[in-house]
């Protein structure tokens, strides 16, 4: 890592501190509005698993032991069928793929994982355990552990980033690549530096670099951050598909020990151990991006920039879908995926 990298990280961290002031103010205001509720909310227990997480219609739960972590996954569909691997984003878990587990199990062995640090998967400590190296390493070990040599790889948000990186590193293990609402990793940083709107939208990434305060903000007001992110009116589109029961499932998932810090560590690792030029390789496999347009975190102009790194690229926009596209507009997303797979 060069001097330039340390300088960039220092700038990002300073912005993180600046945003922290605003978050502290926000937390203080909600504290004085109702100090007792504010405090008791931090101690709210969620010990009972919401029934929707055990819905047999979504598949069966299992674990796989990899080199340094145990991953939890939900699988549906015949083991003789080809593998479709679903990788969720932040702040989510396997349950984000409930509509795809049901849909594609007719033709695929569909496996939705909890990425390391999430849900019922192992949660190794420290930032370095969440580097791209580790995240793609899990997928590399997982595919043979499930009895396959390749898969249709589908990733959303952070899972999309992992999928992009994996396809660059291990193309022989990817049949087709499908990425939902995640820009190509080689395009994001330089675009963000040049585009003020994207820079502003990325404030939370900088805020997450600060220790412990992001965790507190995430937990506060009974996971208000999570609730606003997933079902708030962000980007001008409100999902009506995600129900109160689904929301409770998310809160349950983020209630266990380390369930917030480790997902945040993905962002911390990304800024501390950034991409090297040598990691960027052309992806020759057929690739599709599906993009929900009014994304509160990512500009639409990022999407076509991927074309430079992916010769065989299909892009599908869904104009009225939020960032949480596979839950928001499952019918449209599934239709695009079928078309792409049957091509």
Ligand X SMILES: *[C@@H]1O[C@H](CO)[C@@H](O)[C@H](O)[C@H]1NC(C)=O
Q: How far is the CB of 204 from ligand X (least distance, A)?
A: 24
Give the range of 121-129, 208-216, 224-232, 290-298 binding ligand X by CB under 6 A.
121-129
The CB-of-276 to ligand X minimum distance in angstroms stands at 19
CB of 256 to ligand X, least distance (A): 15
Q: Which is nearer to ligand X, 54 or 125 (CB)?
A: 125
Q: Which is nearer to ligand X, 269 or 310 (CB)?
A: 269
Lookup: tokens for 206 = 């900088």
Residues 6+ apart with CB under 8 A from 64: 70, 71, 73, 142, 145, 146
Least distance (Å) from ligand X to the CB of residue 126?
A: 2
How many CB atoms sit inside 10 A of residue 124's CB?
Answer: 16
Name the residue nearer to ligand X (CB basis): 126 or 311.
126
Q: Which CB atom, from 128 or from 201, has the smaller least distance to ligand X?
A: 128
Task: Determine how β-strand 60-65 pairs with β-strand 70-76.
Answer: antiparallel
Residue from 170, 85, 162, 84 nearest 130 by CA: 162
211 binds ligand X (CB under 6 A): no
Which of these is catalytic: 184, 267, 295, 328?
A: 267
Catalytic residue list contains 157: yes
Residues recorded for the chain: 343
Question: Which residue number is nearest to ligand X in terms of Cβ?
Answer: 126
Tokens linked to 287: 């690739």
Minimum CB separation from ligand X for residue 261, in Å?
12
Phi, psi of 319, rounded to the nearest 5 degrees? -65, -35
Q: Is 68 a catalytic residue?
A: no
Q: Which of 259, 266, 124 is nearest to 185 (CA)?
A: 266
Q: How many residues bind ligand X (CB under 6 A)?
A: 5
Structure tokens belonging to residue 73: 């996954």
Residue in the block written with tokens 């931090």: 42
| Near ligand X in 58-77, by CB under 6 A | none
Q: Which residue has the tokens 């589109």?
A: 237
Catalytic residue, from 157, 246, 295, 328: name it. 157
Query: What does the alpha-carbon distance between residue 26 and residue 55 come to, in Å, rounded to a whole number?
Result: 38
- The single residue of 88, 165, 184, 323 carrying the catalytic annotation is 323
The nearer residue to ligand X, 131 or 195, going by C-beta atoms, is 131
Rounded Cα–Cα distance for residues 278 and 166 (Å): 14
Cβ 125 to ligand X shortest distance, Å: 4
Beta bridge partners of 339: none
Both structure tokens of 36: 């007792």
For residue 234, give every residue at least 6 positions away whose Cβ sits within 8 Å of its Cβ, in sequence order, or none: 228, 296, 322, 323
Question: Binding marks (x or -) toward ligand X, 122..161, rule CB under 6 A?
Answer: --xxx-xx--------------------------------
**Could you tell me if 285 and 171 are in contact, meaning their C-beta atoms sit under 8 angstroms apart?**
yes
Catalytic positions are 157, 267, 323
Name the residues that contact ligand X, by CB under 6 A.
124-126, 128-129
């Amino acid at each position: 890592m060069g001097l330039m990298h340390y300088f960039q990280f220092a700038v990002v961290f300073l912005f993180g501190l600046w945003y922290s002031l605003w978050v502290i103010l926000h937390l203080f205001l909600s504290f004085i509005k109702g100090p007792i509720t504010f405090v008791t909310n931090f101690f709210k227990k969620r010990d009972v698993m919401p029934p929707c997480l055990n819905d047999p219609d979504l598949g069966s739960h299992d674990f796989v032991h990899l080199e340094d972590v145990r991953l939890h996954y939900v699988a549906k569909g015949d083991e003789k069928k080809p593998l479709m691997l679903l990788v969720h984003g932040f702040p989510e878990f396997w349950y984000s793929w409930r509509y795809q587990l049901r849909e594609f199990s007719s033709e695929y062995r569909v496996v939705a994982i909890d990425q390391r640090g999430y849900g019922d998967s192992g949660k190794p400590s420290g930032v370095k355990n969440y580097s791209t190296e580790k995240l793609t390493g899990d997928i590399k070990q997982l595919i043979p552990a499930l009895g396959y040599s390749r898969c249709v790889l589908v990733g959303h948000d952070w899972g999309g980033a992992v999928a992009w990186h994996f396809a660059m590193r291990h193309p022989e293990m990817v049949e087709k690549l499908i990425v939902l609402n995640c820009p190509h990793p080689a395009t994001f940083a330089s675009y963000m530096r040049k585009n003020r709107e994207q820079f502003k939208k990325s404030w939370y990434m900088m805020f997450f670099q600060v220790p412990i305060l992001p965790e507190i903000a995430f937990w506060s007001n009974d996971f208000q951050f999570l609730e606003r992110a997933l079902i708030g009116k962000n980007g001008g589109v409100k999902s009506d598909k995600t129900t109160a029961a689904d929301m409770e499932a998310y809160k349950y998932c983020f209630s266990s020990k380390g369930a917030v810090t480790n997902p945040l560590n993905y962002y911390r690792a990304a800024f501390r151990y950034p991409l090297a030029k040598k990691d960027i390789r052309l992806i020759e496999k057929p690739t599709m991006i599906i993009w929900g347009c009014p994304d509160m975190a990512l500009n639409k102009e990022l999407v076509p920039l991927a074309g430079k790194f992916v010769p065989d690229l299909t892009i599908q926009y869904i104009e009225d879908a939020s960032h949480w596209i596979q839950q928001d507009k499952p019918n449209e997303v599934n239709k695009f995926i079928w078309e792409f797979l049957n091509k």
